[in-house]
Amino acid sequence: MMQIHVPTILVVFSLVHAVGCGNSVERPKTVPVSGKVTWNGAPLSMGRVQFVPSDSKKGRPAVGDINQEGHYTLMTFQANDGVMPGNYKIFVDARKEGDPNNLKTKGGFPILPQKYYDANKSGLTAFIEDSAKNKVVDIVLDGKRKK
């Protein structure tokens, strides 16, 4: 009958587990992208910017929160890593706070013209070059505030 040596099995299992769980996932190259969002000439002080690949089969979306000064920094895989090189359509989502207890308003109230909430209608685009080190993409919005 074969004897199983438990400590040896535990050591072998631990080594296999440690080697197999390395942080070796290779992600695609990203380019750091940041910028400022203005609306009718003034910084937009809330919301989120999203870059969506123009070709849905290439790239991944990237997102960045807009701070009170209107600045944003994009992330694709982890904070501030940027966006994969390529062509992008851009949309902006900015909302006034709604009532969290009301199903109709808990998501907030859109404040920008409707076109800016849709990457296909916003008219906002960017090309991020593969050779870029840091890219600044300022986003200029105009139009009347939604009521």
> pTM for this one?
0.77
State the total domains in the chain: 1
User: 105: domain range?
Assistant: 33-141
Q: For residue 146, tell me if it sits in a domain.
A: no
Q: Quote the pLDDT of residue 145.
A: 72
What is the total residue count of the chain?
147
Q: Which of 42, 65, 45, 52 is nearest to 141 (CA)?
A: 42
Mean pLDDT by 10 residues, the chain (147 residues): 50 48 75 97 97 91 98 96 96 86 74 95 96 91 79
> What's the chain's Rg over C-alpha atoms?
22
Q: For residues 2 and 6, what is the distance between their CA atoms, to the nearest angstrom?
A: 13
- The token duo for 77 is 């895989």
Residue bearing tokens 């695609």: 28
Q: Which of 111, 67, 74 is nearest to 90 (CA)?
A: 74
Q: For residue 16, tell me if it sits in a domain.
A: no
Q: For residue 57, tell me if it sits in a domain.
A: yes
